[in-house]
Amino acid sequence: MPHYHKLGKVPSKRHIVFKKPDGGIYAEQVVSTEGFSDLYSITYHLYPPTRVLKIDKSYSVAPEIAIGDNMQNRSFKGFSVKPEEDYLKSRVAVLVNDDVHLSLAAPKKSMTGYFFKNSSADEMIFIHKGSGTLKTMYGNLPFSYGDHVMVPRGTIYQIEFDTEDNRLFIMESFSPIRFPKRYMNKAGQLLEHSPFYERDIRKPEELETIDEQGDFLIYIKRDGKIYPYHYASHPFDLIGWDGYHFPYALSIHDFEPITGRIHQPPPVHQTFEGRNYVTCAFVPRLYDYHPESIPAPYHHSNVDSDEVLYYVDGDFMSRNNIDKGQITLHPIGIAHGPHPGAIERSIGKKETQELAVMVDTFKPLKITKAALGIEDADYYKSWME
Ligand SMILES: [Fe+2]
């Protein structure tokens, strides 16, 4: 998680009178997580954040499970997910469990008529294609290809896209998304061996204070349902805020790879972690430099983790016939490894241009009906010569 940040105006102390120019008092709100025991921010609004006009009927967006007990290596054509005008409707959950939901999305339009707040999950929105601005109550965060856009739960946001050609890989995490503990010192500062540094973490730098009253629709997601709430004032009415709870971005292009004389294990590629999962970034890098090294990964058995790879760009040395946007799932209990010819092909190679995001879950993932619709059904046989 990023460190303390402040935008706009805040009073000299917490919980004291903070006067508006007209003599009124700004509405203080503490946005806290895990009760009052984890990251929080203190926000100051033009109007109280509690002015609900009405609540429309809630509806389910829970993923439909097709296979709850997967024991097969699988592959899905992520770019076969159809583009959809609306951002929320575009999000298609493909692999899910109680810790994370992994979704694909190809939204065409910016969010204009509504706002979104995920109250159950932190979101990591990986930008595979497209650029734009994440607009939030905490300020604006521009994003582009390769960004992990991190949105902590409870953040009200809109996304503005620059064009209609967008592809997103989204992880909802039902626990806080953190930097790996081993990357940080006791004070939470990123250590010298971490593949990224505080300077690589981009925070919102522009706070727009919108003073508008009317009818503002916020779709609030909780436990697989959307609750349409109408508020009487614009949710981006903050005059200032400070704290640790806010969105940020880390570009996969700023991840500095760790290489060695022989094959380095996946943990050197780690980016984030949460309850029962880790994420990694595979980025362009020099290959192992022992004269007899085999750059392709060894075969391995995931004794206790499901391994999901989302292929972004470049040439995937260990795999045959991999497309951009493809997802492979190698479940707990089944060995996997380089495709036929990949080991021989890799020997003597100096570098790779591969770009991929990995999510390893320590509990099995369920496969949704939507995922089956884009599956390459014969993938599990793809290691036969
Ligand atoms: Fe693997």
Task: Please write the tens of the pLDDT for every residue from 135-191.
Answer: 999 999 999 999 999 999 999 999 999 999 999 999 999 999 999 999 999 999 999
Q: Which of 381, 367, 306 is nearest to 76 (CA)?
A: 367
Q: What is the pLDDT of residue 302?
A: 83
Quote the ligand 1 centre to 331 CA distance (angstroms).
10
Quote the ligand 1 centre to 139 CA distance (angstroms).
38
Indicate the helix (H) or strand (E) that contains 311.
strand 306-313
d(CA 115, CA 158): 5
Give the pTM: 0.97
Quote the ligand 1 centre to 285 CA distance (angstroms).
18
Quote the ligand 1 centre to 95 CA distance (angstroms).
17
Q: What is the pLDDT of residue 317?
A: 67
Distance of CA 122 to the CA centre of its chain: 8
- Give me the residues of the chain with pLDDT under 50, please: none
Quote the ligand 1 centre to 286 CA distance (angstroms).
19
d(CA 323, CA 164): 21
Asked if residue 287 lies in contact with residue 351, where contact means CB atoms within 8 angstroms, the answer is: yes
Q: What is the pLDDT of residue 316?
A: 73
Give the tokens for residue 30.
């503490």
Pairing of β 213-222 and β 115-118: parallel
What string of DSSP letters covers 158-207?
Answer: EEEESSS--EEEEEEESS--B--GGGB-TTSPBPTTSSS-GGGEE---B-
Q: What is the pLDDT of residue 60?
A: 98
Quote the ligand 1 centre to 307 CA distance (angstroms).
6
Q: What is the pLDDT of residue 203?
A: 97
Give the tokens for residue 380.
């599990």
From residue 294, give the alpha-carbon distance in Å to each of 290, 291, 346.
Answer: 9, 9, 7
- 11 by Cβ neighbours in 10 Å (0-12 / 13-18 / 19+) ranks as middle
Asked if residue 66 lies in contact with residue 47, where contact means CB atoms within 8 angstroms, the answer is: no
- pLDDT tens-digit series, residues 249-289: 999 999 999 999 999 999 999 999 999 999 999 999 999 99
